[in-house]
Structure 1
Amino acid sequence: MNPLGLLVVGAPRCAAADVESVLALLPPHLPVPVALALHRGPLDALAAPLGRRCALPVVEPDDKDPLLPGAVYLAPAGYHLLVDRGCVSLSVEPPEHGQRPGLDALFESAADSHGPRAAGLLFAGHEDGVAGLQVLHARGARVAVVSTLQTGGAGEEGAMAQLTLGSVGGWLARLAYVPRSKVLP
């Protein structure tokens, strides 16, 4: 298993409270950056509300800001958030599925830049994000869909996990798990 280099999260507007709950599960010393695209209106102020229970800073980046571990980068209203190996990019390309920020755009950029070192978490409830999550999965990334309608899968390596909100914490913990090497005498 490749070490995790990036966590990308995409959610429709109706899942904002669930996203806040998941952000609260992130450890304060997360060794990777988190990029988050959440459908939103032009006047929605989300960084402060989403960050109130999160141990990591939740910021709306500027174009070409460095992508640093231990921070959550929230797509600003009216922009697609894209990730590259070392920075974020903001795009005003046309909306996807009627949305900007778009979830597919974020997931596809993570697939291109991080491939199997990425992990993607999609909150169900909108068609946006499904195709991008499939691209991530095809590139070897660990991916999961959070839905209130699913029973919650184990999320084995190589599988597209089906999670409930209550099982996301275990999935996140498995992402960060690094097996210890056997010490030889």
Structure 2
Amino acid sequence: MGVDLGLKVPAVAVTDDEKVRFFGNGRENKYKKRNFRSFRKALGKKKKLNAIRNSKNKEQRWMEDKDHKVSRAIVNFAKENKISVIRLERLANIRQTTRTSRKNEKNLHTWSFYRLSQFIEYKAELEGIKVEYVNPAYTSQTCPKCSQRNKAQDRKYTCKCGFEKHRDIVGAMNIRYAPVVDGNSQSA
């Protein structure tokens, strides 16, 4: 099973028999983070430093809870479909390597992709499911049918060969068959 992690859609999973499931709500996450940010800004103007510290802890607890729920749903989906291997992207140094707009920069820097992947890994291990990491380069830009690279227009990926899907589904499909980073590849 391939799992594509992201901001707008926290996770998308695709199995070998083309079952697709979207996990989490990126809009809700963005909305809550923006509310916490504006609340802290208002408290900062009033010089209420302890209240700011407490609100940061509340935001972190809320995000951690969301990551736990998404990771549990992913592992349960894998268990329902009798999946033995979950493949995730190795998103190391993603903040330094990606180009982003000022609008998305705050979201990128508060994205807890590492914690989510760790939660998926330990919950999958408890269920006897192996987790492997793949190189994330061009996973959402490569066509799964003809292997040609195309940029997605907004959320829709279209290829010249006629293939059309949601770009996160395309990413998850490519992650499913991508070579493993550490070299211990096995067929998915």
**Structure with higher strand content:** 1
Measured against the shorter chain, the TM-score band is 0.3 to 0.5
**Structure with higher helix content:** 2
Q: Name the larger-Rg structure.
A: 2
Q: TM-score, normalised by structure 1?
A: 0.33
Larger RCO, structures 1/2 (Cα 8 Å, 6+ apart): 2
Q: TM-score, normalised by structure 2?
A: 0.33
